[in-house]
Amino acid sequence: MNNHKAKIISVNINPKKGVRKKPVGRADVKIDHGLEGDAHARNWHRQVSLLALESIDKMVSMGLKVGPGDFAENLTTLGIDLLSLPIGTRLKVGHDVVLEVTQIGKECHTRCAIYRQAGDCVMPKEGIFAKVIQSGPVGVGDEILIEG
């Protein structure tokens, strides 16, 4: 890992599925659930979704006006290579929250508006999913550490 710290640059939720999520600044993350108030929060293996700003920037360079939350990710990250993390990797976010990587990428069944606009979307290939091992608040600027 590089010498700059990995961090959260956006926390995004939406009570509806299949739509862009709204940046909220902070959210409570509940064990075996996910981000409080988010449509994907429940006891399953994709409680929290993460996408790197670096991936969003690829779509921006294709001419799309997109930003954090537009790919329906819960946590937008900076400075961590999410795709290099093996399933089972634990991430400590902020002071309390611990996430465990459960899935890399996903099948995109619905071809979201972004896919229709650009002919491509980064979330199915570059988004990762995690379950919550330890509860707590997450917020913009929180550090992300890979636990050994």
Closest CA to 25 of 136, 137, 139, 141: 139
CATH (domain of 124)? 2.40.33.20
pLDDT at 2: 44
Residue 122 clears pLDDT 60, i.e. is over it: no
Taking the C-alpha atoms of residue 91 and residue 114, their distance in angstroms, rounded to an integer, is: 28
pLDDT: which is higher, 51 or 70: 51
pLDDT, mean of residues 143-148: 92
State the average pLDDT over residues 92-119.
Answer: 76
- State residue 111's pLDDT score: 56
Dihedral angle at the C-alpha atoms of 130, 131, 132, 138, nearest 10 degrees?
30
- pTM value is 0.88
**Domain count for the chain:** 1
User: Whole domain around residue 76: which residue ranges?
Assistant: 7-146
The answer to whether residue 1 is domain-embedded is: no
Residue 133 lies in a domain: yes
Q: Please state, rounded to an integer, the average pLDDT across all residues of the chain.
A: 87
Strand-pairing partners, residue 8, are 77
